[in-house]
Amino acid sequence: MDGELEFLFAGFAVVWAGLFVYLVLLQMRLRNLHEEVETLEERLAEYEASADPAPSVTVTPATNSEAATVRSPSDP
């Protein structure tokens, strides 16, 4: 009976190992995407700063009461 259990264990171990590796790979991809998004956000901010130097009224609902400010590249 115990012999069968070892096969069961091997099966589950393989499944878990596979799942674990998949999740780690997913995590690595996520980190890369994270960095990419940060870079893109910076570039977008620079583009907005250069293309629109005059203060403009933004349409987003998140506007503060003070005059619309240009987002600085250092904004996280």
Partner 1 sequence: MSAVATQTPENCPAALTSVLRGILALFLWATLPLYNARWTLLPALTGVAMMAMLVGAVIAAPREVIEGDVQRLMYIHVPSASAGTYFAFLIAAASSAAFLISRDIRWDAVARSAATVGVLFTVITLATGAIWGKPIWGVYWTWDARLTSTLVLLLIYTAYLLARSVAGPNDEQAARYSAIFALIGFLDIPLIHFSVDWWRTLHPQRIIFDPRPAVPGEMLLVLLIAFIAITLLMLWLVALRSDTEQLVQRTDRMRARLDQREPA
Residues that bind partner 1 (CB under 8 A): 1, 5-6, 8-9, 12-13, 16, 20, 23-24, 26-27, 30-31, 33-34, 37, 40-41, 44, 48, 51-52, 58-64, 76
- Which one, 33 or 55, has the nearer CB to partner 1? 33
Dihedral-angle region of residue 47 (phi above 0 means left; psi in -120 to 50 means alpha; beta otherwise) = alpha
Distance CA 74, CA 36 (A): 16
Tell the residue number behind the tokens 């933004």, with chain if given: 58
Q: How far is the CB of 42 from partner 1 (least distance, A)?
A: 11
- Which one, 64 or 72, has the nearer CB to partner 1? 64
The H-assigned helical ranges of the chain are: 2-51
